[in-house]
């Protein structure tokens, strides 16, 4: 055998970059035209510049309604763009992310999504850093806007595999990145309690985004699977189980777990959205972001 590392990603470096650039070009344009990037990323990144006449194509959310009420003229508030934001993108590369029943595994989907976010951020003038994480492998790069460096790190199969240790990751991120950074955590968040790490991250970073990658089998078990050896998450006992006997309970518990994680992110003033590997990742990501309401202060 050439090595003992699992085959977890069908993408070599060149293929990953090509897929990322192809899809990110559309996403970057979406950011510019729909103000989503600043809604999500730049709550402190806009400085008021001047009042301008409204023209078709301007974002209606910038209309100054007080001026309209006073004068009847439609004006918009123009802003100066403040850059130098550090966008930190961290992918969970633990064992649970290696699952895939669709065209892509969760790890592959996460790799493309990380590339899209990184490409769009660099395109918008921000700096990009981050890396890959499991309990036996953590590799981070500085936020130098180095899209290629990040893609190279993500595409190495030897970086994949292991378990999760969120408190350890939180300590490393806080130690390596400044307080004004924007953090993206891309993971399936399986067997994850955000209370063990999110308060620290929320207290340090300007904003934390949880991007929950799910395979359809994370939501429900196919009835045709028959009997399987499954591990009890509470006792760690492995037993032979008929899937049809636990399918309904599995689906209910999965839904509750996902909602609980989302609720905890919102509880700490952060955002978390779910994307399925069975869906087109670019349009799904755009929809997920568009569904989130972020107030700019």
Q: What is the pTM of this model?
A: 0.73
pLDDT of residue 184: 94
**Domain match, 89 and 102 both:** yes
Query: Cβ(182)–Cβ(86) under 8 Å?
Result: yes
**Domain match, 116 and 198 both:** yes
pLDDT of residue 199: 96
Residue 2 within any structural domain of the chain = no
Q: Which of 142-151, 174-183, 237-246, 281-290 has the lowest mean pLDDT?
A: 281-290
Domain that holds residue 63: 46-81
Other residues' Cβ atoms within 10 Å of the Cβ of residue 100:
17
The tally of domains found in the chain comes to 2
**Domain match, 28 and 127 both:** yes
Q: Which of 4-18, 48-62, 182-196 has the lowest mean pLDDT?
A: 4-18
**Domain match, 250 and 131 both:** yes
Query: Cβ(40)–Cβ(294) under 8 Å?
Result: yes
What average pLDDT does the segment 125-145 reach?
A: 87
pLDDT of residue 267: 93
The H-assigned helical ranges of 144-207 are 147-154, 166-176, 198-204
Residue 210 within any structural domain of the chain = yes
For residue 52, CA distances in Å to 19, 76, 248, 286 come to 39, 5, 57, 29
pLDDT bucket at 44, cuts 50 / 70 / 90: very low
What average pLDDT does the segment 162-175 reach?
A: 95
Phi, psi (rounded to 5 degrees) for 205: -90, 155
Domain CATH number, residue 277:
3.40.50.410
**Domain match, 176 and 90 both:** yes
Residue 272 within any structural domain of the chain = yes
pLDDT of residue 183: 94
**Domain match, 257 and 192 both:** yes
Query: Cβ(262)–Cβ(255) under 8 Å?
Result: no
Q: Is 60 exceeded by the pLDDT of residue 178? A: yes
pLDDT of residue 285: 66
Residue 191 within any structural domain of the chain = yes
159-93-129 Cα angle (round to 5): 80
pLDDT of residue 103: 82
Q: Which of 128-132, 167-171, 230-234, 265-269 has the lowest mean pLDDT?
A: 230-234
What average pLDDT does the segment 274-281 reach?
A: 80
pLDDT of residue 286: 65
Residue 232 within any structural domain of the chain = yes
**Domain match, 178 and 125 both:** yes
**Domain match, 146 and 53 both:** no
DSSP percent split of the chain into helix, strand, coil, nearest 5 = 45, 20, 35
Residue 109 within any structural domain of the chain = yes
Sign for the CA dihedral angle at 261, 272, 293, 170 comes to positive
For residue range 49-93, what is the model confidence (pLDDT) as tens digits? 678 888 776 666 677 777 877 787 888 876 655 546 788 999 999
Residue 110 and residue 97: Cα distance in Å, rounded?
9
């Amino acid at each position: 055998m050439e090595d003992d590392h699992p085959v977890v990603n069908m993408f070599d470096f060149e293929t990953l970059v090509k897929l990322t650039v192809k899809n990110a070009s559309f996403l970057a344009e979406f950011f510019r035209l729909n103000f989503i990037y600043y809604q999500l990323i730049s709550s402190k990144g806009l400085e008021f510049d001047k009042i301008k006449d409204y023209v078709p194509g301007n974002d209606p959310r910038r209309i100054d309604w007080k001026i309209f009420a006073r004068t009847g003229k439609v004006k918009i508030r123009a802003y100066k763009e403040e850059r130098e934001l550090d966008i930190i993108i961290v992918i969970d590369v633990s064992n649970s992310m290696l699952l895939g029943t669709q065209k892509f595994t969760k790890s592959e989907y996460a790799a493309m999504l990380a590339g899209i976010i990184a490409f769009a951020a660099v395109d918008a003038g921000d700096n990009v850093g981050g890396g890959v994480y499991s309990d036996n492998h953590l590799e981070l790069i500085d936020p130098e806007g180095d899209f290629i460096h990040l893609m190279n790190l993500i595409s190495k199969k030897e970086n994949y595999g292991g378990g999760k240790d969120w408190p350890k990751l939180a300590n490393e991120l806080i130690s390596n990145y400044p307080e004004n950074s924007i953090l993206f955590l891309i993971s399936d968040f399986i067997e994850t309690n955000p209370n063990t790490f999110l308060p620290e991250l929320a207290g340090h970073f300007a904003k934390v985004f949880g991007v929950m990658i799910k395979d359809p089998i994370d939501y429900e078990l196919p009835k045709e699977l028959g009997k399987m050896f499954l591990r009890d998450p509470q006792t760690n006992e492995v037993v032979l189980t008929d899937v049809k006997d636990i399918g309904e309970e599995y689906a209910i518990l999965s839904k509750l777990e996902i909602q609980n994680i989302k609720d905890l992110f919102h509880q700490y003033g952060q955002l978390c959205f779910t994307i399925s590997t069975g869906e087109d990742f670019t349009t799904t990501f755009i929809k997920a972001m568009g569904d989130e309401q972020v107030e700019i202060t």
